[in-house]
Amino acid sequence: MKLYCSNGSPFARKVRIVLAEKGLAYEVDIQDRLRPVEEALGPTLAIPVLDDGGRRLWESDLIVDYLLKTYPESRPDSPSLPPLSPWMTRPDRHWDDATVLATLATLGSSIVNIRLMSSDKITPENSDYLARQRIRIERCLDWLEERVTDDGFAPGWFSIMDIAFLCPVAFCEAREIMPWRGRRKLDALFDRHRDRPSLLATPVNARH
């Protein structure tokens, strides 16, 4: 299995956390920059891309869904930690959880957009559209705070929803993109998992 990613990408980190939780071995092709278009690994031009024995997949949620279904075994680091959920969405709450995942994907895209556009000196201060992205981030966080519980998005589990929240906000904080804290349950969720082995094994590195 080979994972193509860029340093620090919150979408690639989501996949790497799931691989670490499952104890799956993989090669990694990691770059510090956006890959030039000529070196793109698929039509979306984006990473992460997973190659598993010739099957090539992109879009982090699709890759995670593939990993959960193809490699159902889990290797818990400690019985005292909540286990990785075996599903993307709880079977009895599918549409609720799918809406949370979609909102988290949008939150992550807006955070990454602000970061990527800053290399071209386009910021929320000089671009109405990026100012709108910042409002979108705030609105998504407010909406998520109403839905998350004191025990994460799926109580009793370390869920893909939890991971899809932790990765972009950790990136937002590490790259000083904008303040995101200030919501009690989301703040607590972030702090509760920060020392989980799969998170410590996949730190947000120095550059994008």
Ligand X SMILES: N[C@@H](CCC(=O)N[C@@H](CS)C(=O)NCC(=O)O)C(=O)O
CB of 63 to ligand X, least distance (A): 7
- DSSP string over 89-127: S-GGGHHHHHHHHHHHHHHHHHHHHHHHHHTTT--TTT-
Rounded Cα–Cα distance for residues 159 and 157 (Å): 5
CB of 59 to ligand X, least distance (A): 5
CB of 15 to ligand X, least distance (A): 8
Per CB under 6 A, residues contacting ligand X are 6, 9, 11, 34, 45-48, 59-61, 112
Closer of 4 and 153 to ligand X (Cβ): 4
Rounded Cα–Cα distance for residues 141 and 165 (Å): 9
CB of 32 to ligand X, least distance (A): 12
Rounded Cα–Cα distance for residues 63 and 14 (Å): 10
Sign of CA dihedral 52, 8, 16, 149: negative
Closer of 61 and 162 to ligand X (Cβ): 61
Rounded Cα–Cα distance for residues 89 and 6 (Å): 27
Tokens of 110: 């807006």
Closer of 32 and 191 to ligand X (Cβ): 32
CB of 103 to ligand X, least distance (A): 13
Q: How far is CA 142 from CA 57, 81, 195, in A?
A: 32, 27, 25
CB of 61 to ligand X, least distance (A): 6
Closer of 123 and 149 to ligand X (Cβ): 123
Closer of 82 and 111 to ligand X (Cβ): 111
Tokens of 150: 């004191």
Closer of 45 and 75 to ligand X (Cβ): 45
Q: How far is CA 109 from CA 137, 172, 203, in A?
A: 9, 11, 19
